[in-house]
Amino acid sequence: MDIWDKKKRSAVMAKIRSKDTKPEIVLRKSLFAKGYRYRINDKRLPGKPDIVLPKCKTVIFVNGCFWHGHESCRANHIPKANREFWMEKIRRNKQRDQKVKEQLRLAGWQVVTVWECELKKKNIPQTIDKIIRVLENNAPRILTVYEECDDMIIKVAEEIIGYESDE
């Protein structure tokens, strides 16, 4: 039984969806520490990718397992209440994801999807390796390695985004 009515459930779920969710920050910090530079939430690209690495011509989507319907994933547990509603919503999200991916690929972008469950603490090293293998196939990376300094890293990255003008 669902403890919330439909409206409240939507509000709660919307909160979960908010920007700068932790797994995404973890990923960004790791990439930054390895010398990769990126833009975030680039509105000019289809689907507003979470992370855009212009030099590698790669975009990364960090997908919530619930919202994007990560198949056979434990985190993709659909509430029993309003089941039809959620299934339809997720189905539409998946459809949109697919369309966006196609558009990006046609425009020459390499598309990487990272699932939230892949950014759980114990999975992070493996996931980062996987992403970096993809990135290294595509372009040389910046060799500078910055020291990791918790909150600072994110700030620095955002500043670099400003004067990294590709194309």
Contacts with Zn ion by CB under 5 A: the residue count is 6
Coil/strand/helix, residue 115:
strand
Minimum distance of Zn ion from residue 130's CB (angstroms)? 14
Minimum distance of Zn ion from residue 10's CB (angstroms)? 21
Judged by CB, which is closer to Zn ion: 75, or 145?
75
- Considering only the stretches 10-18, 33-41, 59-67, 78-86, report the one whose residues sit in contact with Zn ion under the rule CB under 5 A: 59-67
- Considering only the stretches 30-38, 89-97, 114-122, 146-154, report the one whose residues sit in contact with Zn ion under the rule CB under 5 A: 114-122
Using CB under 5 A, which residues numbered 64 to 103 contact Zn ion?
65, 70, 73, 75
Judged by CB, which is closer to Zn ion: 70, or 141?
70
- Considering only the stretches 82-90, 116-124, 128-136, 149-157, report the one whose residues sit in contact with Zn ion under the rule CB under 5 A: 116-124
d(CA 106, CA 110): 9
How is residue 118 written in tokens?
């892949």
User: Which of 46, 49, 54, 62 is closest to 160 using CA atoms?
Assistant: 54
Judged by CB, which is closer to Zn ion: 131, or 157?
131
How many helices and strands (H and E) does the chain possess?
A: 5, 4
Q: Does 117 bind Zn ion (CB under 5 A)?
A: yes
Q: Does 115 bind Zn ion (CB under 5 A)?
A: yes
Using CB under 5 A, which residues numbered 35 to 54 contact Zn ion?
none
Q: Does 141 bind Zn ion (CB under 5 A)?
A: no
| Site residues, Zn ion (CB under 5 A) | 65, 70, 73, 75, 115, 117
